[in-house]
Structure 1
Amino acid sequence: MRRAFTSTVLSAIETAIRRSEATHRGEIRFAVEGGLAWSDLRRGLTARQRAAKVFSDLGVWDTAGNTGVLIYVQWVDRRVEILADRGIAACVPQAEWNAVCHGLEQAFKAGRYAEGCTAAVDAVGQLLATHFPAGADNPDELPDRPVLL
């Protein structure tokens, strides 16, 4: 995981998030996890369920406008999940998020990690800008730096 997500790649993702958040009122978090713990695997925990836990742990739900979005990558399985807070989920259909996930998974298969991640952030940003364009008060409530779990 750390060979694919070098400091250069993490910086590129952070820059993409910062650039994206200037165009909308949403908050994007990007998290990469090597894999699930053995106990989680035994319980049959899915990538989606783990993403929901990370969504909570990182406080993505805790924005003033309920406009947080988590891009979660489970590295071992190359699974990608996008979870949106209720303010966004009511406006953006799940099929839109699934398309972004699929694009990122395809980029991973091709070994295009930085390009795939920044393209996913840009795609999420475009969806957010459509429904939640930037306003006069556009606070930055969550860290932009991706997190490796």
Structure 2
Amino acid sequence: MKRFLRHSFTTKSLLKKTFPKKTLESIELVIGESEKRHSAQVCFSAEASLSVGDLFRQKTSRERALEVFSLQRVWDTEDNSGVLLYLLLADKKIEIIADRGISRKVESGIWVEICKHIEENFKKGWFEKGIINGISEITEILETYFPRNGKPIENELSDAPTLL
């Protein structure tokens, strides 16, 4: 019941207040700079709440993140090197979904630790800082496992954050 109420009162308007245009522009710039340092693709999507149907089905933030990963075609990169940073605001849950090319090289525990760091910032009300710091941590991992090695920069996926 608590979760249902939380999702009922977490509106798209609140999401836009949490991530105003200036914040979204900052995140987009950070993603663009990140992608100059490695050959992977980074995306950020935030969603206010789940639908009533999803709540009745007890859908988790992880399950929804996997759906968003698919719907936004983050998997559709030449090297299978897409990473989605997903926020479900009503639950204050962050998820990182990495494509199979990355998952073969990076242990899932690393992503869990980054999510914990982001959530620590969220608890302090620092949403922009949390996301930007999280992208920086993701960038460090991707630089190690997906170095640019002189490859030309090909932006296969938009750097612009998506509010769902």
Normalising to structure 2: TM-score of the pair?
Answer: 0.89
Distance in 2 separating the partners of 1:52 and 1:87: 16
Deviations 1:39-85 (A, max 9, x none): 00101111101000000000100000000000000001100000000
Counterpart pick for 1:11 among 25, 36, 45 = 25
* Residue 65 (structure 2) aligned to one of 51, 75, 96: 51
- Amino acid aligned to 1:113: F
Residue 160 of structure 2 aligns with an amino acid whose one-letter code is: R
Residues 9-58 of structure 1 show CA distances to partners (whole Å, capped at 9, x for unaligned) of 11111011000000000000100000110000101111101000000000
Q: Which residue of 2 aligns with 1:146?
A: 161
Instruction: Point out the structure with the larger helix share.
Output: 2
User: Structure 2 CA distance, aligned partners of 1:55 and 1:68?
Assistant: 9
CA-based RMSD: 0.7
Of 143, 152, 158, the residue aligned with 1:137 is 152
Consecutive unaligned residues in structure 2, runs of 5 or more = 1-14
Bigger RCO of structures 1 and 2 (CA < 8 A, at least 6 apart): 1
Match of 1:103 in 2: 117
Does residue 113 of the first structure (1) align with residue 132 of the second (2)? no
| Kept after mapping to 2: 8 A contact 1:32/1:148 | yes
Distance in 2 of aligned mates of 1:11 and 1:113: 14
Of all paired residues, the percent bearing the same amino acid is 38
Matched, 1:61 2:75: yes
1:29 aligned residue = 43
**Structure 1: gaps spanning 5 or more residues:** none
Deviation of residue 136 (structure 1)? 2.3
What amino acid maps onto 1:76 in structure 2? A
State TM-score, norm by structure 1.
0.98
Residue correspondences, number: 149
Structure with higher Rg: it is 2
Whole-Å separation in 1 of the counterparts to 2:22 and 2:91: 23
